[in-house]
Every structure is written in structure tokens, then in C-alpha cells.
């Protein structure tokens, strides 16, 4: 066997050995503890939140029938989706004049800010929970011995709790506005051809908002998960230990004072 072949085999084995050592070093039983189990739920529901919002697409529409016999019934279908910049979504409004055929129109409103904030927060939560799980499962001794890690974890958990509440509430309000702007009645109200007597407009396809509604629900579930995890992370911080030590010291002092009074 040549030295080149042995070197290549050693190079192939080294990454595998590193992965094996990493997997062997993981303490999977810590997932049965509340701190580890809730982090898995946070990771999972973060995927559900940004996945359901970021992958949404809907369709609204209307029909326009001109009183002019030369014009046929025109069906309007408008597709929209994440990031919900509706003012950039175009559709063609039919005209009942003989000289012109259609006019380019846009939907109303720009609701990208709450939607993008919601999705971005979900992605950051996804990556943070992965890093926290690796630290908790593989380097738990370092997590418990170094006081900075629990403090940082607690501060980040509180921050994510606040941001999830804001993001879920803002996206819920934004989704309500999206529903109002994409209703077929809103579409016909924005078309000038429907305001005259030369055409009859009817509501078309109503957009299905089931996936978007679920994304808001996932947002509030993430808020409750992060809020509930604050207590379990707080128990790992030195602040929790100081509170218990102060309580025990006060109880010991009161017992000593009571004993002194009884002796007198």
C-alpha cells in the first residue's frame, strides 16, 4: 500500500470520526427535561411559523360583463402572496369602450413590513434554537459551569418572547388588512368600469386564507413557548440561586432569633 492511499484514507476517516464523536457526545436524555424539550418545540414551531407565512399564495378575482354586445364577459384573476406588496401586483381591467380594450391596475396596500418581520424572526429563532440545543446537549457541563451562558440564554429568551408577541400581533393586523384589500368586493370597488352603467361586475374567486391564518396561530404558539421557557432558563442562572440563598439565610436568622427568645 502506498503512502498516498493511506493518507487519503486517513483524510476520509477524520471527518467521519469527528461527526461520530459529536453524535456520541450528545446527551439525548436531556431532551426529556423541560429545558431541552421546550427548545425542540421552539425549533419545530419556528419552522411552521415562517414556512406557513413565507409560502402563502392566494388568488382573487371578479368578472366584468359589458352591456355592449361586441364585448364578451371578461374574467379577472389576480395572484398574490408573500411578501404581500399588493401595490406591485398588476391586473388588467377591461374597458367597455370600442377604442380601448384594457387598462393596467394595481391592488391597494403594502403589507410587507409585518410579514417580513414575522418570517425573519422565525428564521432567527430556528437558528438560535439549533445553537442552543447543540450547546445544551453536547456541552452541558460548560453551560452549567460558566455563568455567562445561562445569563445570555435568559436575556435572549426574554427578547424572543417580546419579539414573538409583537410579530404575531403585527402580522395578525397585517393579515386582516390583506384580507380587506384582496376581497373581490374591494377589487370591483377599485375598478372605474364597475361604477358606470356600461358594465355589470360580479365577485369572482375568493382567496383562501387558511394557511395565513395558521401562521398567525403559530406565531402566538411561539410566544407562549418562549414565555414558558423563561422560567426554566431563569432557574439555570445565578440569580435564581441567589434568591434561594437569601431565602434560606433569612429563614435561618428568624429561627435563631426565635430560639434566643425562647431561651430568655
For the segment 98-135, what is each residue's pLDDT rounded down to a tens digit? 667 788 999 999 999 999 999 999 999 999 999 998 88
For helices 112-138 and 210-234, the axis angle rounded to 10 degrees is: 40
The pLDDT assigned to 262 comes to 52
| Structure confidence by residue, pLDDT tens digits, 130-187 | 999 888 888 777 777 777 888 888 999 999 999 999 999 999 999 999 999 999 999 9
53 near 115, Cβ under 8 Å?
yes
Predicted model pTM:
0.79
Asked whether residue 81 carries a pLDDT value surpassing 50, the answer given is yes
Number of separate helices (H) and strands (E) present in the chain: 8, 5
> Domain residue spans in the chain?
43-234
Residue 257 three-state SS:
helix
The pLDDT assigned to 90 comes to 92
CA angle 143, 233, 159 (to 5 degrees): 110
Residue 63 three-state SS:
strand
Residue 190 three-state SS:
helix
| Structure confidence by residue, pLDDT tens digits, 171-230 | 999 999 999 999 999 999 999 888 888 888 888 888 999 999 999 999 999 999 999 999
Residue 203's nearest CA partner among 87, 75, 91 is 75
The pLDDT assigned to 243 comes to 47
241 near 68, Cβ under 8 Å?
no
Query: Is the link from the previous residue into 63 a cis peptide, with omega within 30 of 0?
Result: no
The pLDDT assigned to 148 comes to 82
Backbone phi and psi for residue 211, each to the nearest 5 degrees, phi listed first: -65, -40
The pLDDT assigned to 193 comes to 86
**Residue scoring higher pLDDT (176 or 1):** 176
DSSP state at residue 171: H
Q: How far apart are CA 123 and CA 53, in angstroms?
A: 12
The pLDDT assigned to 14 comes to 62
96 near 199, Cβ under 8 Å?
yes
Instruction: Supply the mean pLDDT for the chain.
Output: 82
Which residues neighbour 198 within 8 Å (Cβ) at sequence distance 6 or greater? 66, 67, 68, 96
Amino acid at each position: 500500500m502506498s503512502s498516498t492511499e493511506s493518507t487519503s484514507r486517513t483524510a476520509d476517516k477524520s471527518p467521519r470520526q469527528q461527526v461520530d464523536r459529536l453524535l456520541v457526545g450528545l446527551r439525548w436524555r436531556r431532551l426529556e427535561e423541560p429545558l431541552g424539550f421546550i427548545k425542540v418545540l421552539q425549533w419545530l414551531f419556528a419552522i411552521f411559523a415562517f414556512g406557513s407565512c413565507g409560502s402563502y399564495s392566494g388568488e382573487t378575482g371578479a368578472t366584468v360583463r359589458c352591456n355592449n354586445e361586441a364585448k364578451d364577459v371578461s374574467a379577472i384573476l389576480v395572484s398574490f402572496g408573500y411578501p404581500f406588496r399588493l401595490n406591485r401586483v398588476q391586473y388588467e381591467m377591461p374597458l367597455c369602450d370600442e377604442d380601448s380594450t384594457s387598462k393596467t391596475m394595481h391592488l391597494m396596500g403594502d403589507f410587507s413590513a409585518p410579514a417580513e418581520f414575522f418570517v425573519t424572526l422565525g428564521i432567527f429563532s430556528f437558528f438560535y434554537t439549533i445553537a442552543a440545543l447543540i450547546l445544551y446537549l453536547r456541552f452541558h457541563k460548560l453551560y452549567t459551569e460558566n455563568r455567562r451562558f445561562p445569563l445570555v440564554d435568559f436575556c435572549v429568551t426574554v427578547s424572543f418572547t417580546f419579539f414573538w408577541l409583537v410579530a404575531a400581533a403585527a402580522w395578525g393586523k397585517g393579515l386582516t388588512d390583506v384580507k380587506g384589500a384582496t376581497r373581490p368586493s374591494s377589487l370591483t370597488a377599485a375598478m372605474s368600469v364597475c361604477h358606470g352603467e356600461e358594465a355589470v361586475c360580479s365577485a369572482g374567486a375568493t382567496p383562501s386564507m387558511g394557511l395565513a391564518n395558521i401562521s398567525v396561530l403559530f406565531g402566538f404558539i411561539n410566544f407562549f413557548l418562549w414565555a414558558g421557557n423563561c422560567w426554566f432558563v431563569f432557574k439555570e442562572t445565578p440569580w435564581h440561586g441567589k434568591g434561594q440563598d437569601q431565602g434560606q439565610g433569612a429563614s435561618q436568622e428568624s429561627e435563631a432569633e426565635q430560639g434566643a427568645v425562647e431561651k430568655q
